[in-house]
Amino acid sequence: MLYTIIKENSYQDSVNLMLLTNKISTMDGINKVQIMMGTPANKDIFKTSGLSTEELGKAAANDMCIVVDTDSEEKIQEVLDEVDQYLNNQSISNSKQEFESVRTWDKALKALPNANIALISTPGQYAAEEAEKALDNDMHVLIFSDNVTIEDERRIKEKAHEKGLLVMGPDCGTEIVSGVPLAFANVVKQGNIGLVGASGTGIQEVTVQIDRLGGGVTHAIGTGGRDLSDKIGAITMIDAIKGLAAHKQTEVIGIISKPPAKEVRDQVVELLQSLSKPVVAIFLGEDPHNHEGNIYYANTLEETAAIALDLAKGNPVKPNYNKITGEVSAVNLKPEQKTIKGLYSGGTLGYEAATLISRGLGLGKSNSHEEGYLLKTNGFEVADLGDDIYTQGKPHPMIDPDTRIKFFQKAAEDESTAIILFDVVLGYGSHEDMAGALLPGIQKIQNDAKAKGRTIYFVATVCGTEQDPQNIAEQKSKLENAGVIIKDSNNQAIRTALAMIDIHVEEMDKEMVPAAKKAADQDITTSSAIEKLLNEKPSVINVGLKKFTSAITENGGKVVQFDWRPVAGGNERMRKVLSVLR
């Protein structure tokens, strides 16, 4: 039976409520539960999950809605007690914070008058409006929120460009500014390599590999995954490249991008070829065979980092960085066990896996695949579990292991599965012990398979550094003790998994060739606001998820927490009226 509790004017951010939902769902006697704010979008999620009730229709956007499916009415009081304890613990934690919290833009600006970045993690339908307020106050904007329309993205990026500001995002998960991680990011050493990426976990993998190889970064600027689409035209990437070209401490520039629109890619490449600094670039999905002019092209994220570091140290660039390192484990497989299931929390890491597996199988390029999958053919699968289809009303898989464990179990049920390939992404924003959270699911699968006379192998990469808040050595040790094969990069993990079933991806040596045509003269001047951003620690107004503040304060940045609430109680018509009057 369904029971509904509405807590009026009890706003909590979505991540807190998702984690609370997961906690309640583990209680005995609870068939199903969902805890969300009463927004129209969330009410739709209640409907699709079979938890819609008449009482929900009266809930406002600032009301916390709890719907419980249980056979025992007595359980409701236990649920309410658990909710109250969780929220009370949140209040105690917030009272110990090392930063000021405010409820309006005016108070935020008064508390941190030199703020130069607004980090926005509100629900997507509100993010563009908050971004415009930040731009009106001459701040750069990092939009972590997804579900922002591409028309809104184009508009605010054009406005930012005209004002000499950067809009990083929307759906921008990773940023490092002067050594300060923003949103989901790793703690990496500072150095002389500057990165711009239309890719979150792509940036994380490259910065982590640079750190492990002994190098460091000046900045890692995320643009949002759609920035190199034909509808946006690389507005942020181009302005960021020009900023790094003018930044004295940046001696090497790295570019990371999901598959771009061709004409936009060509525009970016033309700009890069006009720079006096060396550039390493990876356009995922491409298979470059040579370097051109001052641009060194990489096939993998690991190679991107290795080339960047050799350039940064003044070493010659090697013709090939993509050999398997270390031994390939011998396997004991049934004749039908011939496939790999790649189950990724990082979309770009998953895309890299899909690309290399496709090449190993001799498949041509294809952009057609089932929603939520990056590859699905002949039993081989690569899923991006951070895709919107899997995160509606649920935490991102970097935060919560539940979705991944379910996919592990589903993969194990397929008799063709030989290897389950996955990532563990550390850093700020991610789960404090993802290895420990995944272990029970992995061990159960291994035991069940053994009982059936089968062996399923797990191969993984841990994307993190020794400076990250999680203990990377401990994370690796937990997985290795459970029999998981750990590799030092996603590239090595994928190639090892393929080699274990006797599939090999051969790489051609690359040579340096002249650019196809002489680079046209480019205007590479940068605005004073971007120049200032790249030459000082960030001062941030954090609009939304309080989770993001610790990374800033612990790494030398300044932050004010804007405890955001929907305008006009979430009434869309009134919100639009107020927006016009503003």
Contact 162, 240 (CB under 8 A): no
Which own/partner contact pairs does 303-308 have at CB distance under 8 Å and 24+ positions apart? 303/491, 304/206, 304/209, 304/254, 304/256, 304/280, 305/205, 305/206, 305/207, 305/209, 305/210, 305/213, 305/215, 306/209, 306/213, 307/280, 308/193, 308/206, 308/210, 308/215, 308/252, 308/254, 308/280
Highest mean pLDDT pick, 44-58, 73-87, 151-165, 517-531: 151-165
CA distance 347 to 373: 10
487-512: pLDDT as tens digits: 999 999 999 999 999 999 988 899 98
Instruction: Note the pLDDT of residue 554.
Output: 94
116-125: pLDDT as tens digits: 999 999 988 8
What is the CA angle 90-92-93, rounded to 5? 65
Contacts of 553 (CB under 8 A, 6+ apart): 98, 99, 559
CA distance 88 to 94: 10
Q: Which two tokens stand for residue 469?
A: 């808040």
Tell me which amino acid residue 276 is.
S
285-328: pLDDT as tens digits: 899 999 999 999 999 999 999 999 999 999 999 999 998 988 89
**Residue range 172-322+507-530 in CATH 3.40.630.30:** no
CA distance 187 to 185: 7
Q: Is the dihedral of CA 306, 307, 313, 318 positive or negative?
A: positive
Instruction: Note the pLDDT of residue 578.
Output: 43
The dotted CATH code for 339-500 is 3.40.50.261
Sketch the domain layout of the chain as residue ranges. 2-95, 99-171+536-582, 172-322+507-530, 339-500
Mean pLDDT of the residues in the chain? 92
Q: Calculate the CA 565 to chain-centre distance.
A: 24
528-564: pLDDT as tens digits: 999 999 999 999 999 999 889 999 999 999 999 999 9
Q: Once rounded to an integer, what is the mean pLDDT over residues 270-296?
A: 94
Instruction: Note the pLDDT of residue 464.
Output: 98
166-189: pLDDT as tens digits: 999 999 989 999 999 999 999 999
Instruction: Note the pLDDT of residue 317.
Output: 96
The dotted CATH code for 99-171+536-582 is 3.40.50.720
Contacts of 576 (CB under 8 A, 6+ apart): none
Instruction: Note the pLDDT of residue 18.
Output: 81
Closest C-alpha to 561, from 142, 152, 111: 111
Coil/strand/helix, residue 39: coil
Count CA within 13 A, CB hemisphere, residue 539: 15
334-381: pLDDT as tens digits: 999 999 999 999 999 999 999 999 999 998 765 557 888 999 999 999
Q: Helices 347-360 and 490-500, interaxial angle, to 10°? A: 40
Instruction: Please classify residue 488 by burial: count the beta carbons closer than 10 Å to its beta carbon, then call 0-12 exposed, 13-18 middle and 19+ buried.
Output: middle
